[in-house]
A and B are shown apart, each in its own frame.
Chain A
Amino acid sequence: MDIRTRRPLAAAAVSISLLMVTAACSWSDTPAVGAGGGGTLNVAGPIPIENLDPHGAASMDGGTQLAARAIFSPLVTATGPGKFKGDLATKWAPNEDATKWTFTLREGVKYSDGTPVTAQEVVASFERVLAAKGPLAGNFGGYSVDAPDKKTVVFTSKTPDAAFLGKITSFFVTPEKAEKKGFFQKPVGSGPYKVSSFEPGQALKLKPNADYWDGKPDLNNVVFKSIPEVSARMTALKTGEVDVTWGMPDDQIAQLKSDTNLSVDAVPSPGVNTMWMNSGTPALKKADVRRALWQAVDFKSIVESLYPETGSLADSVVSPVVLGYAKQQPVKYDPAAAKAALKKAGFDFGTKLRFQYSQPQFRQFVEAVASDLKKAGVKVDPVEKEQAVFLEDLLAMKWDINIQQIGSQGFDAATNLGRLYPCAAKRTGYCNKELDKDLAAAGASTDVAERKKLYAKATKTIWDDAVGMYPMFVEQPYSWRKTVKGLKLAPDGMPTFADVKVSE
């Protein structure tokens, strides 16, 4: 008995030493990262980087897109609503009915391993996107691609697609060997940086790409860290463990502003807090009812109290940074008029409206809206759902009111209005043949002025018929240490770091 009992003690001793070893390794690791010479930029965005494959399941994931912008090259990048800058491509043009898009590739672009980027690889990458059937592929239904010569790539669509440029900004070109197993564990690309190590969901370490076509970046290292916990991320920024972050909640921003080592700023983003009202629900069938509900909520107070830093009262369905934005007449808060209008429209005050949302960030917003609606005599049942359940119910129309932040990919209203509001989309319960016609025409025209006009008309219809409530434009807040120079604040929360410098 006496001898036997020693075993567990010995085991415990082993455990302790094991622990010390791991602890010791990690401990020495931290300062090395923090003080790694003059040129290290530590980045911690709000979304972890879990997968470096820009074509597959995570292709539209914030983390993957962020990493892709550093590692790979797109054909073009968006610089503003309807404005683009060439990256891999130097020239591009649609045919007359926007069914064919022809790109001329930049010459002499190489991957970080020294091999040249070919037109065939652009084709292969695009076909890889289509084959993956992931979220990015959804933008390119009915597309095919071809490389008639070494420097030309042609994308052909079955239907006219004027918004193709905006959509193709999310597409990145990978080398031929991307097909190989394990390639995306340490991928090779033609972007400003190359991967030195990648721990999914935890850290991505990058080195500058000496062969980058636009000049080797100044930084010696870029480290993306994953710190999902907001307060931890803020602490890391204050202690200097992290140099740049963004997407902070409003309640944290005031604190950051008081820190003299930090700069804080925000840029308008394509995001709009959108609260669709299910027009298929009997109680919400009438536009008068939907408008009255909108009128019954004091969005001005809610936005000012909950989002003093990053929110502003919306005056359109898409944000001002998006092509197709058109200012609308704001809906004024007037509970008395709302109540009267509801009565007049024969609204059934006995109905309990299911108000669904999935992200906890909306909880306070939803509660405040529900509170205002209750004051107008409208019963609302706020339901927080797990993301998968939320999506399933969203598509199955098992909801009455719904809140999401909706952006416009590529800063083009086609990816928002054009995709979500036609009758066929079956997303809002609202169906208007006239609107369908306008949206289709706007998506097919290559004339930007014409498109703007059509989207303005469509926006007015959506706004006046109150397909949803559109309470808030979202700004993207950034905070960085003052040692960081040359940071460009990306409206979509996916900044690039090619031109950033760090002074110690």
Chain B
Amino acid sequence: MTQSDVLVAEPKPEPEAAAPVRRHRRPLAALPYVIIGIYLLTAFFGPMLVDYDPVATSVKGRLLPPGSETATGTAWLGTDGVGRDVLAQVVYGARTSFIIGIAVVFLSGLIGVALGAIAGYFGRLPDMAVSRTIDVLMAFPGILLAIVISGLLERGMHVVIIALSVGGWVGFARLSRSITMSTRERDWVDAARIMGVSKPATLTRHIAPFLAGSVIALATIELASAVLSEAALSFLGLGLPPDVVSWGQSIANGRDYLATAWWITVFPGLALTILVICIGLVGDKLTRRYTRTRD
């Protein structure tokens, strides 16, 4: 939500454009893309290479430090409290994170853009309803919703996706509402209206295209925050069931062993942090590009 505020509240052109020094293209600029690529490859192919069964424990080989030999090979990143391989958890966790992140962004983006565009274009009652709902959601502790949703439904990935989307659409709605509001005053929209194009058609044909760029930028940022929120939920013990591997769960599981077995917490957290930072960097770039073209 923090980032969506920036997207909405930063209508001014970036001073970078006006900066006197023209910068050279940095070779490091590609780094986030490369790293995200590596994560995607890991998420996709990793599970085929690394063999891991989240249900199989071996209590006799628990809490082994990185590099230890276990019954099934070398545990490069150590083993956790029930003797499962931490490296495998990092690899499988990547897949979980992407599935949940992408699903949440898709779902909340769909709902948010639709509601936001309707509110912004039609104004009056629809706007009233959507805006007040947003107000309520923003003043409502998200944790409560998450607890209730995970209590009402049987634990699973879909529950986490729903729980995160319930709060996630707000950013999209606010963004598309404000863009739609400013776009509908443009000449070509007026023209379309005068020519008798129906309201829904105007909305989809003449306004929606202007949303695309900013929405994609926001989607990137929301992807990072969804990955983060999933981990936070699992960390609080409200997220995924124990048989789905997730970074948040690994971090939470290792919390009691911080003094004795730091690796359980550190490696999954590192994986999470690097990914989220890279997505954030890309999102920032997109945001800058689209906030600039919008004005």
Contact = CB atoms under 8 A, between A and B. Distances in A.
Q: In the complex, is A directly touching B at CB under 8 Å?
A: yes
B242 A366 contact: yes
Interface stretch (A87-95, A169-177, A301-309): A301-309
Interface in B99-120: none
Nearest to B258: A231
B72 interface: no
A230 B242 contact: no
A184 B179 CA distance: 57
B257 interface: yes
B237 interface: yes
Nearest to B237: A360
A381 B151 CA distance: 17
B65 interface: no
B280 interface: no
A255 B55 contact: no
A382 B249 CA distance: 14
Contacts of B257: 251
Given A231-B256, A231-B259, A384-B241, A389 B151 contact: yes
Contacts of B58: 371
Contacts of A423: none
A371 B56 contact: yes
A329 B147 CA distance: 43
A382 B238 CA distance: 14
Contact of A386 (B55, B62, B82, B151): B151
A360 B238 CA distance: 11
Nearest to B154: A383
A396 interface: no
Given A367-B82, A386-B238, A301 B259 contact: no
A451 B120 CA distance: 76
B138 interface: no
A388 interface: yes
A400 B220 CA distance: 42
Given A301-B59, A363-B242, A384 B155 contact: yes
Contacts of A331: none
B16 interface: no
- Name the prevailing secondary structure of the B interface residues: loop
B82 A368 contact: yes
Interface string B194-232: 000000000000000000000000000000000000000
A305 B62 contact: yes
A367 B242 contact: yes
B259 A255 contact: yes
Interface in B174-210: none
A370 interface: yes
Interface residues of B, number: 26
- A contact residues, range: 20 to 34
Most chain-B CB neighbours within 10 Å: which of A231, A255, A367, A388? A367
Interface string A353-397: 000000010011011101100100000111111101100000000
B2 interface: no
B150 A386 contact: yes
Nearest to A371: B57
Given A302-B59, A306-B59, A374-B55, A383 B155 contact: yes
A370 B57 CA distance: 9
B255 to A, nearest CB: 8
B259 A364 contact: no
B241 A382 contact: yes
A391 B151 CA distance: 12
A88 B154 CA distance: 50
A387 B184 CA distance: 51
Interface in B224-275: 237-238, 241-243, 253, 256-260
B135 to A, nearest CB: 24
A249 interface: yes
Contacts of B238: 386
Contacts of A388: 151
B78 interface: no
Contacts of A385: 151, 155
B147 A374 contact: no
A380 B82 CA distance: 17
Contacts of A360: 237
A348 to B, nearest CB: 19
B285 interface: no
Contacts of B82: 306, 364, 367-368, 371
B81 interface: yes
A371 B242 contact: no
Nearest to B54: A367
B232 to A, nearest CB: 16
A360 B81 CA distance: 13
Given A301-B60, A367-B57, A381 B243 contact: yes
Interface string B154-170: 11000000000000000
Contact of A384 (B56, B60, B242, B259): B242
Contacts of A363: 242, 253
B147 A371 contact: no
Contacts of B151: 385-386, 388-389
Contacts of A255: 259-260
Interface in A91-116: none
Most chain-A CB neighbours within 10 Å: which of B57, B147, B155, B241? B57
Nearest to B61: A305
Nearest to A392: B151
Interface string A146-169: 000000000000000000000000
A306 B62 CA distance: 9
Nearest to B238: A386
Given A231-B259, A249-B256, A389-B151, A383 B241 contact: yes
A457 to B, nearest CB: 35
Interface string A285-304: 00000000000000001100
A349 to B, nearest CB: 15
Interface in B27-65: 55-60, 62-63
A365 to B, nearest CB: 9
B113 to A, nearest CB: 33
A367 B55 contact: yes
Nearest first, the 5 A-B pairs at minimum CB distance are A305-B59, A371-B57, A368-B57, A389-B151, A364-B82
24 contacts: A231-B258, A234-B259, A251-B256, A251-B257, A252-B256, A255-B260, A305-B59, A305-B62, A306-B62, A363-B242, A363-B253, A364-B57, A364-B81, A367-B57, A367-B82, A370-B57, A371-B57, A371-B58, A374-B56, A380-B55, A382-B243, A383-B154, A383-B155, A384-B242
Given A364-B59, A366-B242, A385-B155, 20 more contacts: A231-B258, A234-B259, A249-B256, A252-B256, A301-B59, A302-B59, A305-B60, A306-B82, A363-B253, A364-B82, A367-B55, A367-B57, A368-B82, A370-B55, A370-B57, A371-B55, A374-B55, A382-B241, A384-B242, A388-B151
Interface of A: 230-231, 234, 249, 251-252, 255, 301-302, 305-306, 360, 363-364, 366-368, 370-371, 374, 380-386, 388-389
